[in-house]
Amino acid sequence: MDTEQHVFLRKMNYKQPKKSPVLEAYDLQTWFPIKRGILARTVGYVRAVDIASLYINKGETLGLVGESGCGKTTLGRTLLGLEKARRGKILFCGKNLLELDRRELREIRRRMQIIFQDPLTALNPRMNVIDIITEGLVEFRLIEGTREDHAKRLMNEVGLDEEAIYRYPHEFSGGQRQRINIARALSLRPDLIVCDEPVSALDVSVQAQVINLLMDLRDRYNLSYLFISHDLSVVSNIAHRTAVMYLGKIVEYGPTGDIINKPMHPYTKALINAVPGPDFKEIEHKRKRIILKGEIPSSSAPPSGCMFHTRCPEVMDICRERAPREMKSGLHGVWCHLYS
């Protein structure tokens, strides 16, 4: 495959304005009840996702970064309908997912897939590869020809040996297992794949192979990804746009280049600063060391005002009282009182 041409095409595609969002989400809220006592009374809520909006265009990758417990996985699952949103609107190719009946939802679900973090637990140990990667096709009656042909084609697509289709997941290495997961997600020709930390469990030398594979497939099939990761360096390599999440809220979003080179939110700055390693001389705000105090507060009792004020190095009086509004310039948006 001609990589340079693809990089070029990708950039061209990206420069075009928001033309056809595959997925749009507005003001999503996913709360989990906390139950206590023998009557299991609801005594409070864990606000895993608390008002988040985003969109993903066709062929585009949106990176979603944040620390553990910030709600990024819950947001991804909510978008797929795996968690029930308490409030908000999810439009998939223009249809509101929260209003569809079961039959319509079933058809939509074929078009959105997910890849999980731990490639082994995501695969049934008692099914062989051919059963795993053609299960969806059989379920949706999409088999033309033999199952073997489909399975072999998918194996080739993800760079695995097509002769291995009768093997079981435990016979593969971590990177190969993640390729099987990708083949399964790919089998139903989806429009959107939610990649939830797809390379976090892999060794660095294998990580790069899987990231490259995901990029190739995206360009070949014009796929859209929601790429969830705690690792900003991984996201910066694959995502066109990046959203930063903290305590259930998106605090900043924009083209990945702007997020890395011109971060606005103090939390984004701190996250970039905390990425360990050399080669950051060109990134100016890496020179000074920013170390955040304390830890991420509990999402069952989030702080008043701006969620980040308990750890923010640039906190002002107003941050403790009022939640900031979105400040937007072009494709870059931020929720911070410093800019209002």
Partner 1 sequence: MGFRDLKLLEIKNITVTFETDEGIVKAVDDVSFHVDRNEIVGLVGESGCGKSVTALSILRLIPLPYGRIEAGEILFYGKNLLDLNHKEMRKIRGRAISMIFQEPGAALSPLHTIGRQMVETILLHKDITKKNAWNIAETWLEKVKISDPGERMFAYPYQLSGGMQQRVMIAMALMLEPDLVIADEPTTALDVTIQAQVFELVREMRRFNTSMLLITHDMGVIWEMCDRVLVMYASKIVEEGNRDDIFLKPTHPYTIALLESIPKLSADEGRLKAIPGQVPSALNYPSGCHFFDRCPDAFDRCRNEKPELIDLGNGHRAACFLAKNEL
Interacting residues with partner 1 (CB under 8 A): 3, 7, 10, 67-68, 173, 175-176, 203-209, 211-212, 215, 230-234, 236-240, 256-257, 260-261, 270-280, 283, 289, 291-292, 295-296
Q: CB of residue 173 vs partner 1: minimum separation in angstroms?
A: 5
CB atoms within 10 A of CB 280: 15
Nearer to partner 1, 280 or 339 (CB): 280
Q: CB of residue 267 vs partner 1: minimum separation in angstroms?
A: 9
The DSSP string of 125-182 is TTS-HHHHHHHHHHHTT---S-HHHHHHHHHHHTT--GGGGGS-GGGS-HHHHHHHHH
Nearer to partner 1, 17 or 276 (CB): 276
Q: CB of residue 109 vs partner 1: minimum separation in angstroms?
A: 29
Q: CB of residue 172 vs partner 1: minimum separation in angstroms?
A: 10
Q: CB of residue 25 vs partner 1: minimum separation in angstroms?
A: 24
Buried b / exposed e along 107-121 (16+ C-beta atoms within 10 A) = ebbbebbbbbbebee
Backbone φ, ψ for residue 333 (5° rounding): -130, 150
Of the candidates 189, 186, 192, 13, the one whose C-alpha atom is nearest the C-alpha of residue 91 is 192
Nearer to partner 1, 24 or 60 (CB): 60
Nearer to partner 1, 139 or 295 (CB): 295
Dig out the tokens for 225 from the structure: 């990804």
Of the candidates 337, 112, 105, 60, the one whose C-alpha atom is nearest the C-alpha of residue 219 is 60
Dig out the tokens for 66 from the structure: 């944040």
Contact between 157 and 183 (Cβ < 8 Å): yes
Nearer to partner 1, 130 or 238 (CB): 238
Describe the chain by its helix, strand, coil percentages, rounded to 5: 40, 25, 40
Q: CB of residue 314 vs partner 1: minimum separation in angstroms?
A: 15
Nearer to partner 1, 145 or 205 (CB): 205
